[in-house]
């Protein structure tokens, strides 16, 4: 793996584990197995590297979500597949955790991939709901954008509840609840 990729990947992991403030350049270098010179050869500094790492995490999250949301099945089945996919629940969401980091939300460049990813996800889920309504799979209900935002909020809140409890069960309950609400729109 190229040095630049090792630096980005190491930063992705450290941001997920420790947040922005807890991720020092020295920790990044140690995890990547590179020296200070290599880091500053590829990146202007920690903010530049963190922005690259956040953009990559965002792209990976979108690609992973699209596998389910753009896959086969009804609108309900695709959203269900997205919500039920394998996750490291107790680690939280790579992108969602960054929305809780004061340094990230205060910096427009660092916040941009977080904001864009959630906007994309809400929009993509809204598209699936609208497709399902047009196809007659789902009854007309609340605005698809509102429903999509509620689904994303439930998912992110489920991560928070699970981490607070030290158990995946609150996350699973949140997902079951969201699916139950969405199931009410499924036509018989």
HEC string of 111-154?
HHHHHHHHHHHHHHHHHHHHHHHHCCCECCCCCHHHHHHHHHHH
| Sequence spans of domains, the chain | 56-183
Please give the CATH architecture assigned to the domain spanning 56-183. Answer: Orthogonal Bundle (1.10)
pLDDT of residue 102: 94
Alpha-carbon span 125 to 118, nearest angstrom: 11
What is the rounded average pLDDT of the residues 160-176? 98
- Stretch 136-158: mean pLDDT: 97
**pLDDT score, position 188:** 81
Q: What is the pLDDT of residue 56?
A: 97
């Amino acid at each position: 793996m190229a040095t630049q990729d090792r630096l980005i990947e190491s930063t992705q992991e450290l941001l997920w584990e420790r947040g922005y403030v807890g991720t020092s350049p020295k920790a990044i270098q140690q995890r990547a197995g590179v020296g200070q010179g290599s880091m500053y050869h590829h990146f202007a500094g920690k903010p530049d590297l963190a922005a690259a790492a956040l953009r990559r995490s965002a792209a990976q999250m979108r690609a992973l979500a699209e596998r389910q949301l753009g896959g086969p099945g009804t609108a309900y089945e695709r959203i269900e597949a997205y919500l039920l996919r394998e996750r490291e629940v107790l680690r939280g969401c790579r992108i969602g955790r960054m929305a809780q980091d004061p340094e990230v939300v205060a910096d427009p460049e660092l916040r941009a991939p977080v904001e864009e990813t959630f906007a994309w996800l809400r929009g993509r889920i809204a598209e699936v709901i609208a497709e399902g309504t047009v196809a007659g799979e789902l009854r007309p209900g609340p605005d698809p954008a509102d429903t999509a935002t509620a689904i994303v909020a439930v998912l992110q809140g489920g991560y928070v509840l699970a981490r607070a409890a030290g158990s995946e069960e609150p996350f699973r309950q949140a997902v079951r609840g969201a699916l139950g609400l969405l199931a009410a729109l499924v036509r018989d």
